[in-house]
Amino acid sequence: MLDPSPEDDGTSPTVSTPHFVGRDREMAALRGALARPPAIVLVEGEAGIGKSRLLREWLAAPDQRTALVSVCPPLRESLTLGPIVDAFRGIDRPLSRLRLTELAGALRPLFPEWSTDLPPALQPLDDAKAARHRLFRALEELLRALRVDVLVLEDAHWADEVTLEFLLFVTSRQQSHGPSLVISYRPEEVDDGSLLLRLTSRLPAGVTQSLHGKFRRGGSDHFCRVCGFRPYSRAWWRPRVLRSERG
């Protein structure tokens, strides 16, 4: 939006950011789902529909939370764990003050810039699957040591398979004090065999809330759909929550 500057004659417009309107229900649904962590919030919609703007507005709210944010770039070949590594590089506290176990030594190949603060490197494993599991455990330990409340991943349809595997790993181990996940994606760009579909298919054990929000164009046609249920009509649009208790 262009507005004339108050200090000129009105012929030189200045740029201002449009007000965030028309997404009150989506914002309320997002806030409500994350009010009882851990939660999984899946924001689905086509390009340009307002997913990123919604998340930016939510992140800008003065709530006391620790959030790591990353965007998956549209690369021809996705970088292994690239979005997760980029998210951690946004931390603003000294790593040396964290209580990390020797397991965090597995993070050295991903974060060489932290070499002075991480534990010594671990012995390599011959089993690639075991090595990946150890790396996932180390990343999760770092999440918890940083007391991350929410991990936000935008454009997850461009994420590499290892990143999606890590998200599934995190959700499978979520507890009452674990981080919530907010994931946005374009459904038309998700392959049939993508691991992203597993995040939308069922409620993991231990997750108290799972909300699936689907964006439509036009202020009166927005609705929110919970995993496993039909979309609700406009007449009584209301977000619902699935709950699961640990046995």
pLDDT digits (tens, 9 = 90+) for 28-66: 888 888 888 888 888 887 887 778 888 888 788 767 678
pLDDT of residue 28: 82
Q: Which of 3-17, 103-117, 190-204 ranks highest by mean pLDDT?
A: 103-117
pLDDT of residue 32: 81
What secondary structure does DSSP assign to the chain, as a single string? -EEE-TTS-SSSEEE-PPP--S-HHHHHHHHHHHTSSSEEEEEE--TTSSHHHHHHHHHHS-----EEEEE----SSPPTTHHHHHHHTT--S-GGGS---GGGGGGTTT-GGGTTTSPPPPPP-S-HHHHHHHHHHHHHHHHHHTT--EEEEE-GGG--HHHHHHHHHHHHT--TTSPEEEEEE-GGG--TT-THHHHHHSPPTT--EEEEEE--SSGGG-EEE-TTSPPPPGGG-----------
Mean local confidence (pLDDT), 214-240: 35
- pLDDT (tens digit per residue) in 66-88: 889 999 999 988 899 999 999 99
Which amino acid, one-letter code, is at 77? E
pLDDT confidence bin for 27, thresholds 50/70/90: confident
- pLDDT (tens digit per residue) in 91-129: 878 888 899 999 999 999 999 999 999 999 999 999 999
